[in-house]
Amino acid sequence: MIRWAIIFSLLLVFGTLRLSIEAALTEQHRSAYFHQARLGLDLREQIGQLGFLAALSGFRSLVADVAFIQAHVAWERTEWGRVLLLFREATTLQPRSVLFWDMAAWHMAWNASVAASHDPFLTNNALRHKAQDEYVALGKDFLERGIKNNPDRPQLYESLARLYKEKLNNHAAAARLFARAAALPSAPERDKRFAAYELSYLPGHEREAYEALRRLYDRGEHERLPTLCTRLKYLEQKLAIPLDERAF
């Protein structure tokens, strides 16, 4: 009996010694973007007791994958409500997966919104437009929450910029987001170009866009792509750039 008391006391002493170390290590993990998932009671209701237990026991990403595959199947059946719920589960369980946020936003803002515009159950155009806007807003919400969870990755900034450009016709927001993506260390070269393109569509920002495009043009042959040349030529004409300074 005394031996067990000694062992239990030693266990508690070890627990006390490691308490602050583990708390500090957990904080370091979180600042390196580990353990970001917040598993609350609302998720417990969505994924069921067994799924929640699995998620708590170290199989969070597996449960997230199952939700993602179910969402894929629901998409094939065009069950948009189910797609939305399953993607919410997948992204809550695995908030560091850029793919889940991106796919969720794409299904909502592109696929579901287009499907809503042809929905035979919606009796008039106003309702269809409303449904379409709601789906685009859902897609935007996914991307914004994805960026909050993954501020260090350029992909979601790019996707949100594309959504602003193609779905909301907001070139200012698109340019800002492409520029933010381009500023990240792992960003592809095209983000700078895309930020300049979007700027070139903005009234009042022609000079800024021209300078950005010209800088890219001067970097060499590899940057002289058809869209860049077209936009640069348009801006040279619009800004009446002297002939000897023009690229075209």
Size of the site for other proteins (CB under 8 A): 47
86-103: b (≥16 Cβ within 10 Å) or e: bbbbbbbbbbbbbebbbb
Q: Which stretch binds other proteins (CB under 8 A): 25-33, 176-184, 203-211, 237-245?
A: 25-33
Least Cβ distance, residue 152 to other proteins (angstroms): 9
Site membership for other proteins, residue 49 (CB under 8 A): no
- CA–CA dist 14, 222 (Å, integer): 61
Nearest residue to 111 (alpha-carbon basis) of 85, 144, 75, 140? 75
- CA–CA dist 120, 128 (Å, integer): 9
Asked if residues 33 and 152 have their Cβ atoms less than 8 Å apart, the reply is yes
Site membership for other proteins, residue 78 (CB under 8 A): no
Cα–Cα distances in angstroms (integers) from residue 42 to residues 47, 85, 115, 194, in the given order: 9, 12, 29, 39
Residue among 99 and 114 whose Cβ is closer to other proteins:
99
- CA–CA dist 224, 218 (Å, integer): 9
Amino acid at 222: H
- CA–CA dist 43, 245 (Å, integer): 60
Q: Which stretch binds other proteins (CB under 8 A): 61-69, 108-116, 131-139, 203-211?
A: 61-69
Least Cβ distance, residue 148 to other proteins (angstroms): 15
Residues 89-148 that bind other proteins (CB under 8 A): 94, 96-99, 103
Amino acid at 39: L
Residues 204-243 that bind other proteins (CB under 8 A): 222
Amino acid at 53: L
Give the per-residue contact string, 176-195, with other proteins (x = CB under 8 A; - = no). ------------x-------
Residue among 4 and 121 whose Cβ is closer to other proteins:
4
Q: Which stretch binds other proteins (CB under 8 A): 3-11, 81-89, 116-124, 228-236?
A: 3-11
Give residues in contact with other proteins (CB under 8 A).
3-4, 6-8, 10-12, 14-16, 18-19, 21-23, 25-26, 28-29, 32-36, 53, 56-62, 64-65, 68-69, 72, 94, 96-99, 103, 153, 188, 222
